[in-house]
């Protein structure tokens, strides 16, 4: 209500009313423009993020459990995590082009590091006493990882995945805006450059909802398959 009253007398280029934003949102959905962009963006995000989860957890387990892997890879992880990864976009355009694979790589690069770093921290913070007990009972290395290290690391991994999906959405938008004007990011760039502010805001809100839905799905998975995390945390207080 306050937004409507404040924006009503203003130039719609500066601040459109929520009614205008909603009308443009409905129009973009009705003509299929927004749905098509969502499908493109969803495909990039899912593929890039899935690869980031697989690589991040796999390499994170190795770095957290085995010192040699940490010595070899930690300098590169630190370097990449401290680098503004959007600076690599011109190089990606030169090396890979501007099509779907390049945009997937951008999502992957932005999603990977929170997942990887949190996984390493989770593996390294496994209860040392439980590890020693497992070793004394003759558990193999694989069994220690499965029954001790990985369960201890699950809260860290889930936190990294939650952060990674947010970074991945940012990477998705950046890649689409800077590379091929595709998907939601392409719509943001086009509407912004042409001063179609109400359509721009409709796409921005759609992108925000997109992120909220993904985070909500992750929370649902956590409650469904990892409910023991909260119970364990509560028992430790």
Residue 59 domain-assigned?
yes
Residue predicted with more confidence, 169 or 1:
169
> How many distinct structural domains can be found in the chain?
1
Terminal CA-CA length for the chain: 44
Residue predicted with more confidence, 136 or 14:
14
Residue-level pLDDT at 60: 93
Q: What is the CATH number of the domain that holds 51?
A: 1.10.3720.10
User: 144-199 pLDDT, tens per residue?
Assistant: 777 777 888 888 998 899 899 989 999 999 988 888 788 898 899 999 888 899 99
User: 100-129 pLDDT, tens per residue?
Assistant: 899 999 999 999 999 999 999 988 887 776
Residue 138 has pLDDT above 90, yes or no: no
Residue 14 has pLDDT above 90, yes or no: no
Residue 90 domain-assigned?
yes
Reported as a pLDDT band with limits 50, 70 and 90, residue 206 is confident
Residue 202 has pLDDT above 70, yes or no: yes
Residue 10 domain-assigned?
no
Reported as a pLDDT band with limits 50, 70 and 90, residue 235 is very low
3-state secondary structure 99-139: CHHHHHHHHHHHHHHHHHHHHHHHHHCCCHHHHHHHHHCCC
Residue 5 domain-assigned?
no
User: 27-84 pLDDT, tens per residue?
Assistant: 999 988 888 988 889 999 999 999 999 999 999 999 998 889 999 999 999 998 888 8
Residue-level pLDDT at 44: 92
Q: Which of 153-162, 196-205, 225-234 has the lowest mean pLDDT?
A: 225-234
Residue 58 domain-assigned?
yes
Residue 229 has pLDDT above 70, yes or no: no
Show the CA angle centred on residue 44, arms to residues 40 and 48, nearest 5°: 170
DSSP per residue, 23-54: HHHHHHHHTTHHHHHHHHHHHHHHHHHHHHHH
Residue 148 domain-assigned?
yes
Residue-level pLDDT at 234: 47
Residue-level pLDDT at 219: 80
Residue 71 domain-assigned?
no
Residue predicted with more confidence, 51 or 13:
51
Cα-Cα-Cα-Cα torsion 198, 203, 207, 209, nearest 10 degrees, comes to 60
Longest CA–CA span in the chain (Å) reads 76
Residue 221 domain-assigned?
yes
Domain that residue 87 falls in = 18-66+80-236
Reported as a pLDDT band with limits 50, 70 and 90, residue 231 is low
Residue-level pLDDT at 105: 93
Assigned token pair, 177: 């805006």
Residue-level pLDDT at 137: 66
């Amino acid at each position: 209500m306050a937004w409507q009253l404040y924006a009503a007398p203003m130039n719609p280029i500066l601040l459109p009313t929520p009614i205008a934003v909603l009308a443009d949102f409905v129009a973009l959905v009705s003509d299929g423009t927004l749905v098509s962009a969502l499908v493109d963006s969803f495909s990039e995000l899912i593929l890039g993020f899935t690869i980031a989860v697989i690589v991040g957890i796999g390499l994170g387990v190795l770095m957290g459990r085995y010192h040699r892997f940490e010595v070899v890879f930690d300098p590169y992880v630190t370097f990449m995590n401290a680098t503004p990864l959007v600076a690599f976009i011109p190089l990606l355009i030169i090396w890979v082009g501007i099509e779907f694979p390049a945009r997937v790589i951008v999502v992957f690069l932005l999603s990977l590091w929170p997942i990887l770093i949190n996984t390493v921290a989770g593996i390294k913070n496994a209860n040392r006493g439980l590890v020693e007990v497992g070793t004394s009972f003759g558990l193999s290395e694989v069994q220690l990882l499965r029954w001790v290290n990985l369960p201890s690391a699950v809260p860290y991994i889930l936190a990294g995945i939650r952060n990674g999906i947010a970074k991945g959405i940012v990477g998705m938008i950046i890649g689409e805006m800077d590379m091929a004007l595709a998907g939601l990011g392409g719509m943001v760039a086009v509407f912004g450059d042409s001063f179609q502010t109400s359509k721009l805001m409709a796409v921005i809100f759609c992108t925000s909802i997109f992120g909220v839905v993904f985070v909500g799905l992750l929370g649902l998975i956590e409650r469904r398959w990892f409910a023991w995390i909260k119970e364990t945390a509560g028992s430790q207080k």
